[in-house]
Amino acid sequence: MNEADRRLLRQSRVRLVGELQVAALWDALLNRELFTPDMIEDIQRAGSGSRRDQARQLITDLETRGSQALPLFISCLEDTGQETLASLLRTSRQAAKQDPEAIRPLNLKPVELGPELWPAKLRPEVLRPEAPRPVDIGSGGFSEICAQDRAKGNADLAYVLNADPCGHCLIINNVNFCHESGLRTRTGSSIDCERMQQRFHLLHFMVDVKCNLAAKQMVQALVELARRDHSALDCCVVVILSHGCQASHLQFPGAVYGMDGYPVSVERIVNIFNGTGCPSLGGKPKLFFIQACGGEQKDQGFEVASTSPEDRTPDSDPEPDATPFQEGPVTVDQPDAVSSLPTPSDILVSYSTFPGFVSWRDTKSGSWYIETLDSIFEQWAHCEDLQTLLLRVANAVSVKGVYKQIPGCFNFLRKKLFFKT
């Protein structure tokens, strides 16, 4: 879906959620092939299963259904007698086309760079041109005094991770995608997968790897993990390596693609492990690491003045070192959204890139994010908490490349987390 249609849906969200009669739409949506039967069932199960929850999930998922999704949806509204909503969307869409300044599509044309700056081995996590991968910048030496020594054993400061094994770690590695999806093979992702498999094994997790799963299979694997008995364990980790995209959300942004080209929202992935779906993990940390694009924007960064010697290399000018945080259209379904939000305690979601932006992957050495994450964990996990580790990852990744990338996280942990090393 193009940016103009996506913005129109978000601007109309409150009214659509309030008035949309979803029960009348199912057959029309199926007949026009906007959704599959499985996707309709998922929408019907959304939240509490109420009409408003179903309407909200339908609008969210509609953004992922292609360039003709909005006009087809308008036709479905007309077919089911919801002419008032159809007229609202149709009129607004026509007005936006007549006034391009009102909703301007993103210009995603890549900057023309010389061949030496575009090695064929580097790819973003969506179907995009390549960009360079610079030499990694070192993280420094080891700390002599471990914060872990001060915090571990004190349940008020840190989670207790005494179980051995510590918990389950599920890695979903989608490398090959069906031809109809239009998504490229993610060459280099197997390197990421091997790194994460070895790293979390060393951190005392039971690691299970699943490759090339369709969207429904991804959800099934996650549900199976959530339904296990975690009573004797202290933590749970999910790592997802795939293509990704933007998605409307109430809690956690973004979506990841199954090998069939259908997206699964990060919000849905996380909520599988909430208190209702996974009671044996209640009060225990649940960690999600997402290596996927957050969208299609390429961030060229901006120049900053160096403030300390380590910010620059000798005899060189300061290089771009940060990413401009661009806010997307605001979701205005606030009153209803707030009342339906669960408490996402003991959850941390780490993203490889800022929502809306491309995430880069090298076909020979893996993605910037996973390569850096593994390196930082190797050097510092013995004495630093997870949030500090992720700050190191963000700092190291932010200085890479002609195009920029910065990881970030949604942190709802209640305590510090020190891995068992």
Q: What is the mean pLDDT of the chain?
A: 76
Per the structure block, which two tokens stand in for 365?
Answer: 């050495």
pLDDT digits (tens, 9 = 90+) for 151-174: 554 556 899 999 999 999 999 999
Do 73 and 125 belong together in one domain?
no
Q: Do 345 and 405 sit in the same domain of this protein?
A: yes
User: Percent of the chain at pLDDT above 90?
Assistant: 38
The answer to whether residue 85 sits within a structural domain is yes
Q: Is residue 317 part of a domain?
A: no
Task: Indicate whether 312 belongs to any domain.
Answer: no
Spatial distance between the Cα atoms of 259 and 187, rounded to a whole number of angstroms: 14
Same domain, 183 and 94: no
- For residues 279 and 365, membership in a common domain is answered with yes
Instruction: Give yes or no: residues 125 and 59 share one domain.
Output: no
Judge whether 226 lies within some domain: yes
H/E segment holding residue 10: helix 3-11
Any domain includes 320: no
- What does the pLDDT read at residue 49? 76
User: What distance lies between CA 235 and its chain's CA centroid?
Assistant: 21
Task: List active site positions.
Answer: 243, 293
Q: Are residues 139 and 84 in the same domain?
A: no
- Is residue 366 exposed (0-12), middle (13-18) or buried (19+ Cβ within 10 Å)? buried
User: How buried is residue 299: exposed, middle or buried, by Cβ count under 10 Å (0-12/13-18/19+)?
Assistant: buried
Q: Are 336 and 50 in contact (CB under 8 A)?
A: no
Is position 277 within any domain? Answer: yes
Does the bond joining 165 to the residue before it have cis omega, within 30 degrees of 0? Answer: yes
Q: What pTM, to 2 d.p., does this model score? A: 0.58
Residues 171, 48: one domain? no
- For the stretch 63-118, pLDDT in tens is 888 888 898 999 899 889 999 999 999 888 888 777 655 444 333 344 333 333 33
Q: What stretch of H or E contains 321?
A: none
Distance (Å, rounded) from C-alpha 38 to C-alpha 44?
10
Query: 148 near 384, Cβ under 8 Å?
Result: yes
Same domain, 67 and 169: no
Is residue 60 domain-shared with residue 13, that is, in the same domain?
yes
Do 396 and 280 lie in one domain? The reply is yes
The verdict on residue 113 lying in a domain is no
CATH code of the domain containing 53: 1.10.533.10
Indicate the number of domains in the chain.
2
**For residue 32, what are the domain limits?**
3-98
Angle (CA) 156-161-166 rounded to 5° is 155
Q: What confidence tens digit (pLDDT) does each residue in 309-352 have? A: 333 333 333 222 222 333 333 333 333 333 333 456 899 999 98
Q: What is the CATH number of the domain that holds 255?
A: 3.40.50.1460
Instruction: Tell whether 47 and 152 lie within a shared domain.
Output: no
Q: Are residues 129 and 214 in the same domain?
A: yes
Is residue 406 assigned to a domain? yes
